[in-house]
Structure 1
């Protein structure tokens, strides 16, 4: 893929997964810089994620600083313990948090690090694992998850299943749909084909993130506390195979950039598109996954 085609794909792109907010790891840029760079590249949407706070306030501030521009910026809540945990009250606050109507959270995510699935993979202590979130295989959903899903459905925002095990994600998609949630995003870079087919078949969109195909996956990082851990990488060949098998209509690609050891988000997104193109993924499919699908899912303003 030539640089000209890459630039053409960036124009109109929507990156729904950018970590430019404050963190205990170094960030490559701040929220305002991320917004200005996305705007300069001709992108139309930018989603801010933060493991320590509801990022809706950052998004609302960025929109106020930039003024009326052709870039939709939004945030949301990852229900990590520092951000209030898996809490219906925290969700209610996030949904209304900003500068007036329509500026609140556009996504609500289950934890990305404090799940038993991740904690077991990191070799955490039994007490630590026990304190983390998990979806049981059978029986009722644990409180307050039913109320959270009802609030997400009423607000018509995105429910992100977080970093749970594949079987948990499959159950969550079904439970969310049953409670009226229409917008569901599943981080699926590490899932097998059976699980990806199940979440897509259940009405969710699957997300593939550049972070996991990047060198950052080989570097121990401090994500939520003093312990540094390596996150398993996923080859670009595997990601291309997922796209070919499950179809671009059912997938979103994102940069997941902002950590200091990676390119800045716009450049990370360009690199991800180039790597996928080198694996034979065509420009129409790339545009669908980087523009059309995330714009529709997150209700990006035209």
Structure 2
């Protein structure tokens, strides 16, 4: 190894310092019907040792708010606060305002619009070859959860959910719906007083261009990028480090959230993902303050940790 190679390597101490107070708002720990590499408690212990402030667990099939409450209540020594949310897929009844209200009442932080049950996702599956790891083993395949009626009007249940988000402060994330649907739903959400909006991984599944992404950011949404798609060593990688930089530059670090979207078997752990991502961002030329916004401050703001 040459002296130049050593100088270009990310400094582990600097990476560790930047990650103090970090927040992962989108992570797939278990228990889950799909195989997971670690459970919610193991994740919290892992992130606590690294100084993370909070994590929001996400499962496509259930609201994890009761698990999060148990972990918080019985592990007061953990530095990382564990939260969860709800994804509006078939298992929770799709567009179910009652389930969203319960999630908010139990301290949930995010409601995701349909993912595996999004009409857009089901179309994408057919061309991508991807399939939910458990769909043919334990549960029936997903069926579409439409957001609008045949006349294109947003369904009353969805409007009810937007009102719940507005009144409780839940963040609304776009999930796997198409970018064209995201624009319509987010515009209505804003009209109804929803203040916390998250555009989920424009880099994959949702059909977004750079222009789309910028338009949604200009609506006041944070743009959340899944590190799983960008990191060398991730089995989900389909984008380069340079492309991550282009996405960040598009809306600026002040509107960008980096989440792991990890926790699956056979790939990087969420903590490994964050450490590698911080090193990649340093290599791209971003300063410590900008990176800290993307891995900590922006996520903390959108889930209400600063309230």
After TM superposition, the score normalised by the length of structure 1 is 0.86
**SS of structure 1 residue aligned to 2:225:** strand
Q: Is the 8 A contact 1:120 1:129 kept in 2?
A: no
Q: Is the 8 A contact 1:52 1:83 kept in 2?
A: yes
Q: Per-residue deviation at 1:299?
A: 1.7
Q: In 1, Cα distance between the equivalents of 2:103 and 2:215? A: 29
Task: State the partner residue of 2:164.
Answer: 151
Task: State the partner residue of 1:180.
Answer: 193
Instruction: State the superposition RMSD in angstroms.
Output: 2.2
Residue deviations 1:76-108, cap 9 Å, x none? 1011111332211221222223xxxxxx22111
Q: Is the 8 A contact 2:257 2:294 kept in 1?
A: yes
- Counting matched residue pairs gives 279
Task: State the partner residue of 1:221.
Answer: none
Residue deviations 1:238-293, cap 9 Å, x none? 12101112100011001111101222211111112222322333322111111111
Task: State the partner residue of 2:283.
Answer: 278
- Where does 1:214-293 land on structure 2 (aligned, <5 Å)? 214=231, 215-217=234-236, 233-293=238-298
Q: Per-residue deviation at 1:38?
A: 1.0
Residue deviations 1:14-48, cap 9 Å, x none? 11111112223321111111111111111111111
Q: In 2, Cα distance between the equivalents of 1:209 and 1:151? A: 26
**SS of structure 2 residue aligned to 1:123:** helix
Q: Is the 8 A contact 2:95 2:145 kept in 1?
A: no
After TM superposition, the score normalised by the length of structure 2 is 0.84
Q: Does 1:17 align with 2:26?
A: yes
Task: State the partner residue of 1:101.
Answer: none
Describe the shift of the 1:301–1:194 C-alpha distance in structure 2 as closer, same or farther (beyond 3 A).
closer
Q: In 1, Cα distance between the equivalents of 2:142 and 2:13? A: 48
Task: State the partner residue of 2:113.
Answer: 110
Task: State the partner residue of 1:226.
Answer: none
**SS of structure 1 residue aligned to 2:156:** coil
Q: Is the 8 A contact 2:90 2:142 kept in 1?
A: no
Q: Per-residue deviation at 1:134?
A: 4.4
Task: State the partner residue of 2:176.
Answer: 163
Residue in structure 2 matching 1:7, options 4, 16, 26 = 16
Q: In 2, Cα distance between the equivalents of 1:13 and 1:129? A: 33
Q: Is the 8 A contact 1:134 1:164 kept in 2?
A: no
The gaps in structure 1 that reach 5 residues or longer are 98-103, 219-232
Task: State the partner residue of 2:229.
Answer: 212
Task: State the partner residue of 1:88.
Answer: 97
